[in-house]
Structure formats: C-alpha cells, structure tokens
Amino acid sequence: MKARIASTLALWAGISAALYFGQAYAGLLLLVLMGAAAQWEFYTLLEKLGATPRKVLGLIAGATLPIAVFAKGSGLLASLRGDEAGAPTTGELRTDMLAFAAAGALVAAVFFVQLARHSAPLQAILRAPTAFGLLGFPLMMSLYAWPAGIHWGRNGDLTGVYWVVWCVAATKFTDVGALLAGKAFGRNKLWPAVSPGKTWEGCVGGVLTSAGVGAAFAALFAKLGWTLDLPPAKAALYALPLAVMSVPSDLVESVFKRLTGVKDSGRTIPGIGGAYDLADSLLLTAPVSLALYLAITA
C-alpha cells in the first residue's frame, strides 16, 4: 500500500513537472510512451495465450497514431503539407472527433463482450493480436491527444491539456478510492472469478472519490487561473461517468491477467505493476472523455 501511494505521488510529480516545462508536447509524449508500454505488455499477455503479435510493427504504428491526431488537430499537419488554409475548422474537427469517439466506443463494446462472454471474442483477438493491440491502446490514447492538439493549435492554448489532466485524475483516483473503501468496508465481491479483491462497496467508494477529486482539481485549476471552464459542482457530476466506466475498463485487464495466470502486467512501477496496470482504467473511459469534451465545448 505504501509503495502504491509513493508511486502515485511520484507519477503525479513527474507529470506536473513534464507539463510545466514541456507543456502540450510533453503531454503528447507521455500519452505515446504510456500507450506504447501498455501495448507491449498487452502483446506479451497475448503471447502467453499462444498469439503471435507483430510487436515492433504494432508499436511503430501505435506511436504514430496519437502524434498524427495531435498534429491534425493543432494544424501542424497542415503546416507541414504547406496548406495555406492552416488548421482545420472547428466544425471539421468536431466531425472528426465524433468519428473517433464512435470508433473508440465500438472498440470498448468489443472488450465489454470479452468481459461478459470472453471465449468467442478472445479467439478473435488471438487471430488478430496486432490489430487489437492498436485498437485497444494507441486509438484510445489518441482520443485524449485530440483535445490537447486542438487547443494547442489555437495560440498555444493549454485548455485541452488541462482537460486531459482532469480526466486522468478523475479516472485514476477512482482506483485509489475503491482500494481504500474496499479495505475498510468491502463485504460483497464484485466479480470474484475475475478479480477477487474488488467489492461493490469499493466501487461505490471509488465513484464518490472520483467526484470529489474531480471537483477539487477543477477548483485548483480555477485558483491557478488555468482556462478550464468547469465549475467544481459540474466537475463532480462529469466525473461520475468516467468513474463508472473505469470499473469495467479495469476488469478487462483482470480477465487477461486471470487467463494468463499473472498478477501484474509488469514490474516497472512499485506497488502498481506495469504500464498496462497503470493505464487500464483510462482505456475504455477515453470515448466517454471525448464525448464529455464535445458536450462542454458545444
């Protein structure tokens, strides 16, 4: 527990420092690195199940996707092409974002089926492991990169970056709240066959923690003068769907770990595990995050 808390504090300190000095580009790099590391660990889990993913090819394609999305949203892609029109219009970007959100939701639906009845979907994943690795990780990271790129292309505005930081906080502190509430009050198991440690009481505690952290981060951003138009009360409300979606997102990884007989996807982060263990709850929440962003900026 102490190692997990220390790692959480260290990770947030590192994220804060990276964003302070590197701003949007540092945020993009963090998304790419986290997605690539988690993707690699996912491929390793699939190899234990007999799949043969093309790991290097998948990682190269995976790293390209969020960078390309950021570049398109910010207008950098247009500049590199010498397009005098510059960045895409807001209407064009919103249409593209809706398409990406729909694609992300479709991927999330496939993994939901994996939770409910994992035999058939698992066979499909094992037949196309490289593609599923791309869909499950870089595509989802791209849904976070898009808002950051759009605002960064408008005179270096960091609103999109702040939005992503808020989403990550609201999502990841669900895990912390669920862990603490589960240890203190947990009685009824959520899904013992997949994740014996998770309880319904822990889930409720995690959702409430997410709402509180979401409100607290929004209040902090406002106090610091960061341009995120999200009042604390509204932030607490918007954190709820992220928190709820983070639970099955976390359970999807638990299914794969249970099938492969491993406790953690890696050992790089003390108290947490690997990059997939860190990113698991952020994956299926990505379409929800983008949908909320579209609602806020409508």
pLDDT digit string (tens) for 278-289?
Answer: 999 998 898 889
- Helix ranges (DSSP H) in 49-89: 55-74, 76-81
pLDDT surpasses 80 at 157: no
Query: Closest by alpha carbon to 197, among 212, 207, 187?
Result: 187
Q: pLDDT band for position 111 (50/70/90)?
A: low
Q: Say yes or no to pLDDT of 92 above 70.
A: no
φ, ψ of residue 197 in degrees (nearest 5): -80, -15
Cβ-proximal residues to 159 (8 Å cutoff; 6+ apart), any chain: 147, 151, 226, 227, 228
| Range 250-267 average pLDDT | 84
Task: Return the amino acid letter for 140.
Answer: M
Instruction: Tell me the range of 55-69, 75-89, 223-237 where mean pLDDT is highest.
Output: 55-69
pLDDT at 136 over 60: yes
Higher pLDDT, 198 or 127: 198
pLDDT top residue among 242 and 273: 242
- Tell whether the model's pLDDT for residue 84 goes beyond 60: no
- Residue 86: is its pLDDT beyond 60? no
User: Domain spans of the chain?
Assistant: 2-296
The pLDDT score that the predictor gives to residue 122 is 67
At residue 213, the pLDDT reads 95
Give the pLDDT band (50/70/90) at residue 135.
confident
pLDDT for position 114: 57
Of 81, 74, 213, 210, nearest to 145 by C-alpha is 74
pLDDT-above-90 percentage for the chain = 29
pLDDT at 90 over 80: no
Average pLDDT, the chain: 82
Indicate the pLDDT class of residue 81, thresholds 50, 70 and 90.
Answer: very low
Q: What gap in Å lies between CA 23 and CA 29, rounded to an integer?
A: 10
25-35: per-residue pLDDT in tens? 888 999 999 99
| Cβ 38 vs Cβ 276: under 8 Å | yes
Closest CA to 146 of 239, 220, 237, 77: 77
Query: What Å distances lie between residue 47 and 51, 106, 124, 160, CA to CA?
Result: 5, 24, 14, 36
pLDDT given at position 34: 92
**pTM (two decimals):** 0.86
Over residues 42-68, the pLDDT tens digits come to 999 989 888 899 999 999 999 998 888
Highest-pLDDT range among 63-72, 88-97, 188-197, 229-238 = 229-238
CA distances from 89 to 69, 96, 121, 143, 221 (A): 15, 11, 38, 18, 27
